A and B are shown apart, each in its own frame.
Chain A
Amino acid sequence: MDFSVLSPTALVASLMVAATPIMLAAIGELVVEKAGVLNLGVEGMMIVGAVLGFITAIETGSAWLGLLGAIIGGILISLIFAILTQLLLANQVASGLALTLFGLGLSSMVGNSYTGMKPPGFNSIEIPLLNDIPFIGAAILNHDPVVYIGLLMVTAVYYFLNKTNKGLILKAVGENHNAAHALGYKVIRIRITAILFGGACAGLGGAYISLVRVPQWTEGMTAGAGWIALAIVVFASWKPYRLILGAYLFGGVTIMQLNLQALGVDIGIAYLSMAPYLVTIIVLVLISANHARSSSNAPGSLGQIFHTSQ
């Protein structure tokens, strides 16, 4: 076995690309869950973002406008979820699952005539001196802009949730909506805003798959990335910086798995593929075993319906 063909530079570079869509979708879902809402429709929002981003990019000839189209698409479809669960008080789990099915169907209908087309691309960022740094220059500093948008987004969410007044209010709403309501915070309004933010992030993540990572439109192309994003939120125990770790772990395992196969390493591919999910389950078990820690991590009102009459 010749491991020398494995280039660490290429590995890190493709890991960062593989992790970006799930990181974007996961950071959106993290905010939604911090506000006390469980939206299982991430997969559906991602695929709608993927198709609308693709269509916008083709029609306008601009990848940046494509991203914008994806964000708007993600917001619009998450609005359905927001109305169902926040105003009509529908069950969040069922609504989220329905949103995924709806998104998959809608995207295949809308995208029908766009298969086989080639979208405009992004240029990777060229930084004269930095790109010449060995390893780091090629592996970390030579990507398309969206990779860095993802990382910036995580930083921004961390800052928002922990350092701003609004962020603390959002967390209060997620921890105990009755108490937050009693203090005069607009629980429903805050939650709807969070849901729409989650939709925008998921849409952006989906567009990254159809515009950069593949880049083309095919039905069902997100292939479960939304579910992985949901798993990462739990894996990260609702902490933004751990979320980066989780996304790189999931992305890294995917890339490693392919590389080891191409090398002909005789390991159970199935075991490697399920490793991140196993870790997620272990994290879940650990969190729920320690009740004191669990209450400080999982938002207290997660998934519960709120109505002012309660």
Chain B
Amino acid sequence: MKIFKLILTGLVLSLSLSVSAISGSHGPLKVGFVYVGPINDGGWTQAHDKGRLELEKALGNKIETVYVENVAEGPDSERVMTQMALSGVDLIFTTSFGYMDPTLNVAAKFPKVKFEHATGYKTSENMSNYGARFYEGRAIEGHIAGKMTKTNIIGYIASVPIPEVVRGINSAYIHAKKVNPKVEFKIIWIFSWMDPAKEADAAKTLMEQGADVILQHTDSTAPLAAMQASGKAIGFGQASDMLEYSPSPRVTSIIDDWAPYYIERAQAVIDGTWKSHAVWGGISTGMVGIGEITSAVPADVKAEALALKADISSGAYHPFTGPLKKQDGSNWLAAGEVADDGTLAGMTFYVEGIKGDVPN
């Protein structure tokens, strides 16, 4: 009797297992997202979550999405990804630079799950890397900043010293300097993607030291709130439009539009055509959007900025075109030479004219 019971339980168990396995492969595609901040940060994570919601809208009941917010970069994220993969998620987007190695590790453990890591540079058999050429937007911001500053001091709230941030600083500086040779950049690193109190303090400090245009590479709207309160500087929306601070201090913005990419990749998994790749979208592909330029910017400056945008989009102009020198005075790009993606991806040096060092 006991043996019979045991066999019966075993039978039922294996049956239910196989049933769930079948239903798993035929159900909707499960897409997971790992976020570094809260989904309503008003910036970076909110932009990714907007992409997730549009993905849901576009593919309807063919997919199902899950997300985990406020995941610390490092070992914590590895745990979250493993959990997602174990719970049957088929496609996982990890949306912060610091998730790169954790994603690589987890991807190796789950060869059937597809991974997509944002803003890094490593790929594997089942791990793609996608990123956006935000430096194209920084060029436009730099141009406006150079034209708009009266004190010739431009503040920059930098987040974490990785190539993407350094690239943004260089691109903004090159284009501000081009239209205003007297500009000086004051850069504050806060070593965090989001710390509203510190971001606000940094913005105030920059204004106290004379900056009347401030660029930010951090995720919250705190710097814009500080600029609005004092009325001493203008700034730009970062990652999300931050339209609530327009027409001033927010005069335009860099908007990340991830939706088309998320839809394309989820569809590829459904169609069975997904392959690991490395993609860098820009203004031309719509991954980088430029928010409305407000009335706080004079018409001629606005026209120049839009022309610059059009040239970058068409490929007629690359923001890193020589002659350019590195900070130490050594030659980087000869006249007319354009930076290759490899150098840009690993950029850890300032261009000539920027003061200070990139922190380690």
Contacts and interface: CB of A to CB of B under 8 A. Distances in A.
Give the residue among B41, B197, B210 with the most A Cβ atoms within 10 A. Answer: B197
A14 B201 contact: yes
B155 interface: yes
B108 to A, nearest CB: 31
Contacts of A121: 229
B197 A258 contact: no
Interface in B205-229: 205-206, 208-211, 220-222, 225-226, 229
A214 B186 contact: no
A5 interface: yes
A222 B195 CA distance: 8
B71 to A, nearest CB: 12
B121 to A, nearest CB: 25
A264 B355 contact: yes
A225 B197 contact: yes
Contact of A7 (B41, B188, B208): B208
A261 B188 contact: yes
A197 B187 CA distance: 41
B322 interface: no
A220 B209 contact: no
A5 B209 contact: yes
A269 B40 contact: no
A254 interface: yes
B189 interface: yes
Interface in A120-156: 121
Contacts of A6: 209
Given A115-B40, A219-B40, A214 B209 contact: no
Interface string B181-202: 0000011110110111110111
Interface string A1-22: 0000111001000100010000
B290 to A, nearest CB: 21
Interface string A199-233: 00000000001000111101111110100000000
A254 B41 CA distance: 23
A3 to B, nearest CB: 11
A7 B207 CA distance: 12
A14 B38 contact: no
Given A218-B194, A223-B195, A258 B155 contact: no
A5 B151 CA distance: 12
Interface in B286-302: none
Contact of A14 (B191, B196, B208, B220): B208
A261 B158 CA distance: 11
Give the residue among B204, B205, B355, B357 with the most A Cβ atoms within 10 A. Answer: B205
B19 to A, nearest CB: 36
B98 interface: no
B189 to A, nearest CB: 6
A223 B205 CA distance: 19
Given A262-B186, A264-B186, A214 B196 contact: yes
Given A219-B70, A220-B70, A116 B201 contact: no
B356 interface: yes
Contacts of A261: 187-189, 356
Contacts, number: 99
B42 interface: yes
A262 B197 contact: no
B272 interface: no
Contact of B188 (A10, A108, A262): A262
A214 B188 contact: no
Contacts of B222: 214, 216, 218
A228 to B, nearest CB: 11
A39 B345 CA distance: 47
Interface residues of A, number: 34
A189 B187 CA distance: 52
Interface residues of B, number: 39
A87 interface: no
Given A213-B200, A214-B200, A218-B222, A258 B188 contact: yes
Interface in A95-113: 108, 112
A259 B209 contact: yes
Contact of B189 (A10, A112, A213, A269): A269
B244 interface: yes
Nearest to A254: B201
A156 B177 CA distance: 55
Contacts of B204: 14
Interface in A228-286: 254-255, 258-259, 261-264, 266, 269
B196 A223 contact: yes
A258 B42 contact: no
Contacts of A213: 197, 200-201
A218 B201 contact: no
B60 interface: no
A18 B195 CA distance: 14
A14 B209 CA distance: 13
Contacts of B244: 116
Nearest to A262: B186
A116 B42 contact: yes
A118 interface: yes
A6 B186 CA distance: 13
Nearest to A266: B357
B357 A219 contact: no
B342 interface: no
A10 B201 contact: no
18 contacts: A6-B209, A112-B40, A115-B42, A116-B40, A118-B225, A121-B229, A213-B197, A213-B201, A214-B225, A218-B194, A218-B221, A223-B192, A223-B195, A259-B208, A262-B155, A262-B188, A262-B206, A269-B191
Interface of A: 5-7, 10, 14, 18, 108, 112, 115-116, 118, 121, 209, 213-216, 218-223, 225, 254-255, 258-259, 261-264, 266, 269
